[in-house]
Structure 1
Amino acid sequence: MKTFFKALAFLIAFLPLSIHAQQAEVKAMVDKMFADVLNKDFESLLNMTHPKVFDLVPKEQMLPIIKSTFEGNDEFSVELPKETPSYKISEVFKGKNNNLEYAFVTYDMAMNMTFKKQEFDEESKKMMIPIMKAQGMDVTFTSSNSMNVLMRDRLTIFLKEDATKNEWVVVNYDANSPLFYQVLSSDLLEAAKTYKQNLMFESKKKTEN
């Protein structure tokens, strides 16, 4: 009986340390992700991506996509803030299979977009604003071809499992992407969907207060 209580006491003492260590690992990964974005270290961002992504899309094809996302292309350019946005990390959850552990990171991401081959008159601006709003982006035009964009309630999933060799990797939440559904397990997809819905619900309540 004494052995049992000693083991129980050890378990109670150890669990908070383990949980704290996991959250510290996630925080370090989050800080690195944002640093890589600001430094435009695309190779490092790819190395943080879930390896299943590259079974579907080769890394060589992913690189120009990421560059286009953060640098722009012939059609538009993107300028990001020079500082890490405020973010919130959830607790670390355990999945049902494959030694899955995961956490959700939420944040607002701001950027400036400049269109190189297109200009917007006042009527076009009025049409563009609600279209972008429907995509979760608040837009303020700064000129006829430039706008400030605030993407609210962004959700990024940090996870580790057998397929990642128990190392933390990153998957951005995108309910409209078939790739997203092929990479994650069904229980994680369901958890992410619920977390995102709750996030949007809380944001909605704030706007009504």
Structure 2
Amino acid sequence: MKKILFVLIAFLFIACGGNSSKDKTENTTGGIDPALEKRLAEYMKLNEELDFNRLMDYIYPKVFDLAPREDMVEAMEDFFKSEEIKVKLEDLKIDKVHPVFTVKDGSYAKIDYSMVVLFDMSSEGDSMEKKEQNDLIVKSMAEKYGEGNVGIDKETGMIRVRMGTPMIAIKDEIVKDWSFISYKKDDPFLDKILSKEVQDKLATYK
């Protein structure tokens, strides 16, 4: 259970894997910044390829002060090679790119994305024990993601979780190319990465 929860949390930092969609919503300034659009497309392509090492080049560097790059790569590689948990990611897509704004020397944009996570834990017990295990996990996940977003996939029998969450695109004095981090309002970890002024501005985009 702890391993499942860790990986789902990790998805908030890196939308790893899955089939990304080319559909996107233009921002209110009349279109997505070309450099951001290009960088975001590259980021999504690396997600599809599960190229974790190169993917880290697109993560905002301050994240690695909290979680070392090598540890993040190792954790994700170990997870996708795990025989204990089978994972399938579907419908990874960009739902909306909000307008770019500037604070001092930095440029920022909130990006809404979503995906469906299908996973199945190996079980040595009988089908009834596995069902009880899955029901317990579904109940736990529903408390975090909402009952309507968690259930058992009828076709595969795997646990299905629909996740919608924002991330932030950043370009500043630390990194000259657009880089990305997850965004959760009032997350204490953001205080170590972003100024209050930037966080307050991000909170205005719904």
TM-score normalised by length of structure 2: 0.68
Q: 2:107 aligns with which of 94, 98, 101?
A: 101
TM-align CA RMSD: 3.0
* Identical-residue share of aligned pairs (%): 22
Aligned counterpart, 2:33: 23
Aligned counterpart, 2:88: 79
Q: 1:142 aligns with which of 128, 132, 153?
A: 153
- Cα deviation code 1:68-113 (max 9, x no counterpart): 56x26354221123x6524211111112x3x111111112211211
TM-aligned CA distance change 1:145 to 1:115, over 3 Å: farther
TM-aligned CA distance change 1:128 to 1:194, over 3 Å: farther
Please tell me whether residue 34 in structure 1 is matched to residue 44 in structure 2.
yes
Aligned counterpart, 1:56: 66
Deviation at 1:45, TM superposition (A): 1.4
Question: Structure 1 unaligned runs (5+)?
Answer: 1-18, 199-209
- Cα deviation code 1:51-78 (max 9, x no counterpart): 1122333221121233356x26354221
- Listed as ranges, the matches of 1:115-134 within 5 Å are 115-117=121-123, 120-121=130-131, 125=135, 128-134=137-143
Deviation at 1:32, TM superposition (A): 1.7
Please tell me whether residue 160 in structure 1 is matched to residue 151 in structure 2.
no
TM-aligned CA distance change 1:56 to 1:171, over 3 Å: same
Rg: which structure is higher? 1
TM-aligned CA distance change 1:75 to 1:124, over 3 Å: closer
Task: Decide whether the 8 Å contact of 2:94 with 2:111 is kept in 1.
Answer: no
Instruction: Name the SS for the 2:99 alignment partner.
Output: coil
TM-score normalised by length of structure 1: 0.67
Question: Structure 2 unaligned runs (5+)?
Answer: 1-28
Aligned counterpart, 2:14: none
